[in-house]
């Protein structure tokens, strides 16, 4: 059953359509959930940094939310959203929220007060302060949060297979339930490769996005 560790390559070669379908579902789940996560979490973090009253409840909800296992989130959503791609996407978006939100919040809050005072002294408005000072200075930390969320969701997206959401988890669960090593690895290896290459690629991208003045000097 597990005699040939590379039998999964054969499976992929013999079933390219199935494999590509699972891979594309997996990538869609990850990308869309991180995208929605950014769209929701970054404004929430800005709001929390502006309205002191909201900071505690929002960080509290985010932290507690993250301690609920992803599988439980999927289960809890079934009564409301049913099964399939949609509830899986919602669950993954919830999972993406915490690292992005907390990093963005901490990033904005840890901008040096002296810098803020200097900017205010130069007459910047609230909006300008955010756009031209706080967000650029916080960008390395915000981006690190997005990176964490993306890599994490590549792994968590395998759980969509429990609720008919598709993705590479389908192959993993099929392989596990039949002790078929080829199927199992045809799902697991691409997930690992996807996670590692994404981590590396986003690391590269971060160097481009971070303002020049904040880039580490030397290698």
Partner 1 sequence: MRGRPEGRGALRAIAGTLLTVVAGLGLTLGASPVSAQDSEKPQVTLGSKGFTEHLIITEMAAQLLQDAGYEVEQINLENTAIVHQALISGEVDAYIEYTGTALTAVLDEPVQSDPQAVYDTVKQAYAEEFQVRWLDPLGFNNTWALAMRQDQAAELGVTKISDLKGKAQDLQFGATQEFFGRPDGLPGLLDRYELDFEDERGMDPGIVYQAVAEDEIDVTAAFSTDGRIYSQGLVVLEDDLGFFPPYFAAPVVREDLLEEDPRIAEVLNQLAGQIDDQTMADLNLRVDEGGQEPRDVARAFLDQMAQRGAAASPTGSPVGSPAASPIAG
Q: In the complex, which residues of this chain contact partner 1 (CB under 8 A)?
A: 1, 63, 66-69, 78, 82-84, 98-99, 102-103, 106, 140-141, 144-145, 147-148, 161-164, 166, 170, 173-180, 183, 216
Least distance (Å) from partner 1 to the CB of residue 201? 16
Residue (61 or 128) nearer to partner 1, CB: 61
Least distance (Å) from partner 1 to the CB of residue 131? 21
Check if the beta carbon of residue 97 is closer than 8 Å to that of residue 36: no
CA distance 219 to 214: 14
Least distance (Å) from partner 1 to the CB of residue 98? 6
Residue (24 or 178) nearer to partner 1, CB: 178
CA distance 145 to 187: 26
Three-state secondary structure readout of 186-219: HHHHHHHHHHHHHHHHHHHHHHHHCCHHHCCCCC
Residue (30 or 147) nearer to partner 1, CB: 147
Residue (43 or 203) nearer to partner 1, CB: 203
Q: 149-187 burial by CB neighbour count: b if 16+ within 10 A, else e?
A: bbbbbbbbbbbbbbbebbbbbbbbbebeeeebbbbbbbb
Least distance (Å) from partner 1 to the CB of residue 144? 4
Check if the beta carbon of residue 99 is closer than 8 Å to that of residue 43: no
CA distance 148 to 109: 19
Least distance (Å) from partner 1 to the CB of residue 119? 21
Residue (36 or 162) nearer to partner 1, CB: 162
Least distance (Å) from partner 1 to the CB of residue 99? 5
CA atoms within 13 A on the CB side of 209: 18
Residue (16 or 127) nearer to partner 1, CB: 16
């Amino acid at each position: 059953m597990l005699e040939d560790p590379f039998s999964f390559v054969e499976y992929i070669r013999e079933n390219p359509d199935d494999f590509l379908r699972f891979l594309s579902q997996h990538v869609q789940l990850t990308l869309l959930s991180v995208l929605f996560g950014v769209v929701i979490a970054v404004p929430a973090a800005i709001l929390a940094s502006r309205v002191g009253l909201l900071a505690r409840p929002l960080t509290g909800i985010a932290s507690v939310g993250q301690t609920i296992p992803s599988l439980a989130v999927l289960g809890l959503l079934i009564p409301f959203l049913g099964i399939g791609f949609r509830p899986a996407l919602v669950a993954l978006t919830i999972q993406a929220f915490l690292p992005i939100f907390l990093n963005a919040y901490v990033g904005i809050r840890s901008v040096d007060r002296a810098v803020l005072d200097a900017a205010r002294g130069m007459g910047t408005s609230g909006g300008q302060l955010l756009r031209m000072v706080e967000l650029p200075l916080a960008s390395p930390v915000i981006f690190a949060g997005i990176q964490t969320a993306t890599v994490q969701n590549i792994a968590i997206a395998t759980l969509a297979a429990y609720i008919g959401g598709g993705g590479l988890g389908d192959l993993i669960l099929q392989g596990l339930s039949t002790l078929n090593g080829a199927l199992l690895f045809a799902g697991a290896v691409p997930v690992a490769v996807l996670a590692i290459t994404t981590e590396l690629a986003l690391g590269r991208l971060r160097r481009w996005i971070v303002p020049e003045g904040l880039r580490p000097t030397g290698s």
